[in-house]
Amino acid sequence: MPRHFDALILGAGAAGLFCAIEAGKRGRRVAILERAERIGKKILISGGGRCNFTNIHCTPDNFLSADPHFAKSALARYTPADFIALVQSHRIPFHEKMLGQLFCDRSAAEITGMLEEECRAAQVQIFCNTKIRKVSRAGEFIVETEEQEFRAPALVVATGGLSIPKMGATSCGYDLARQFGLKIVSPRPALVPLVFHAGDCKRYSELAGVSVEVIASFGKEKFRENMLFTHRGLSGPAILQISSYWREGQPIRIDLAPGLDATAPVREAKTRSEAAARAAFQKFLPKRLATRWLDFHTPASWTNPALAALEEQVHGWPIAPAGTEGYEKAEVTAGGVDTRELSSKTMESRKIPGLFFIGEVVDVTGHLGGFNFQWAWASAAAAGRAL
């Protein structure tokens, strides 16, 4: 016997759970079908176990999408203040770490606990360990799982992206979009460490563990945050941020001395020399990095034009990565269901009434710092209010 609901939601991650709560509160009979053995697995590991659940400075500029206007409506109608109010109503203590990023004081499990409690109050039924075999549409949506059949006039796809496959990420959302004739913007790993080419790897891998504040840029996008050398390339917030914009074959640029006249002490030194340059660079860079970087960038002479060229290099060090660390290490997946296919007010497909896509599966990707969860909550609220 098929089980009938008003709405079926695929995926019990941030977006799926929140959408179910919004719809359930409005009296809809909602079922969430989740492949994993438990809900909200990514929430639990997020923010180093403390879940950076939103960002108080959230604006549409914090998101990448083929259509930069798409996210505006949902973000305006469900704001960080709305989510903060919910967290406060559950008496979950939190703090601002930096740059508007809000983290739980204790544990991300308090956010999943809160969502679970809200689901219970809204009488949402959650089916874990549920493997979907087939989705079809015959008047209503029919979801066949290994054990049973579910039917509803509305289907919400909240299956996330491809990041962290070992946690059970699947291409299910993209496959369903294609099945129903919706276009996809090619998915790619984002918020992901970058990998050096062999030459740079030889030059800089011994700096693994060194961290420094830089401005990482690609085109007109710039992020002033920390950069970390790894054994294979570059990571740290500045690199994760710029990785979302980086396109293969092109260099990113690193300003190793933001706002500084790095070569001034050399120009003014009694004797312009390599030793003077090292001493100057060690003032603003970790010693190992200053030494290694100058090993490969010491100018042939110490003339004013040569120092000007060095100054330029230090503010725009080009690095052409060989690639990224891939979905295994990517915090999110950029690309996804083409926003031109969806209503920005409700996240419903323009072609297939009753079919919704929310959260990371949509071509809206946030910067690092709580923006991806804010998109999950906001897109889920938009759909949940329309169910």
Query: Under the rule (CB under 6 A), what is the footprint of ligand FAD?
Result: 10-16, 33-36, 41-42, 45-47, 51-52, 132, 158-160, 163-164, 168, 170, 172, 331-332, 359-360, 370-373, 376
Q: Closest approach of Cβ 272 to ligand FAD, in Å?
A: 47
Q: Closest approach of Cβ 380 to ligand FAD, in Å?
A: 8
293 versus 375: smaller Cβ distance to ligand FAD: 375
74 versus 277: smaller Cβ distance to ligand FAD: 74
Q: Closest approach of Cβ 73 to ligand FAD, in Å?
A: 18
Q: Closest approach of Cβ 363 to ligand FAD, in Å?
A: 12
Q: Closest approach of Cβ 168 to ligand FAD, in Å?
A: 4
35 versus 315: smaller Cβ distance to ligand FAD: 35
126 versus 252: smaller Cβ distance to ligand FAD: 126
- Secondary structure in 3-state letters for the chain: CCEECCEEEECCCHHHHHHHHHHHHCCCCEEEECCCCCCCHHHHHHHHHCCEEEECCCCHHHEECCCCCCCHHHHHHCCHHHHHHHHHHCCCCEEECCCCEEEECCCCHHHHHHHHHHHHHCCCEEECCCCEEEEEEECEEEEEECCCEEEECEEEECCCCCCCHHHCCCCHHHHHHHHCCCCEEEEEEECCCEECCHHHHHHHHHHCCCEEEEEEEECCEEEEEEEEECCCEEECHHHHHHHCCCCCCCCEEEECCCCCCCCHHHHCCCCCCHHHHHHHHCCCCCHHHHHHHHHHHCCCCCCHHHHHHHHHHHHCEEECCCEECCCCCCCEEEEEECHHHECCCCCEECCCCCEEECHHHECCEECCCCHHHHHHHHHHHHHHCCC
112 versus 263: smaller Cβ distance to ligand FAD: 112
Residue whose C-beta lies closest to ligand FAD = 13
225 versus 255: smaller Cβ distance to ligand FAD: 225
Q: Closest approach of Cβ 242 to ligand FAD, in Å?
A: 17
285 versus 381: smaller Cβ distance to ligand FAD: 381
Q: Closest approach of Cβ 308 to ligand FAD, in Å?
A: 42
